[in-house]
Amino acid sequence: DQQVKQNSPSLSVQEGRISILNCDYTNSMFDYFLWYKKYPAEGPTFLISISSIKDKNEDGRFTVFLNKSAKHLSLHIVPSQPGDSAVYFCAASAGGAGSYQLTFGKGTKLSVIP
């Protein structure tokens, strides 16, 4: 039973345009969500997170939106740059403060075309 789903294995976007990566979850206990970026031959690196008490968090070109009623979150990258080409993982945790266990999605490979 996959609790965090990234239904698009890949996404191609033109440089300068918006990239939208989607993530759905089924566990209503999840209360903290993160996005990680992964380049080949490297470990995932933290990108941005959002708590369930918010519906939006922004950091530079990256914005994460959370729709709790739909159990859906999305990562927007504007404008997209070739260096953004990577695999993006959505992750979630439950249990409130002090919970460290993360459940990851399968990842979406983003290709930004110059």
Please pick, from the candidates 19, 21, 105, 112, the single residue that binds other proteins as defined by CB under 8 A. Answer: 105
Please pick, from the candidates 41, 61, 80, 86, the single residue that binds other proteins as defined by CB under 8 A. Answer: 41
State yes or no: residue 46 binds other proteins (CB under 8 A).
Answer: yes
- C-beta of 58: minimal distance to other proteins in Å? 16
83 phi and psi angles, rounded to 5 deg: -70, -10
Cα 59 to Cα 15, 38, 50, 67, distances in angstroms: 19, 18, 11, 18
State yes or no: residue 32 binds other proteins (CB under 8 A).
Answer: yes
Helix (H, G, I), strand (E, B) or coil at 83: helix
- What is the rounded distance in angstroms from the CA atom of residue 72 to the CA atom of residue 5? 9
Window contacting other proteins (CB under 8 A); options: 19-27, 42-50, 55-63, 78-86: 42-50
Q: What is the DSSP string of 21-35?
A: EEEEE--TTEEEEEE
CB-CB neighbours of 102 under 10 Å: 15
State yes or no: residue 44 binds other proteins (CB under 8 A).
Answer: yes
8 vs 49 by CB, closer to other proteins: 49
State yes or no: residue 45 binds other proteins (CB under 8 A).
Answer: yes
Contact residues: other proteins, CB under 8 A: 6, 32, 34, 36, 41-46, 49, 89, 91, 93, 97-107
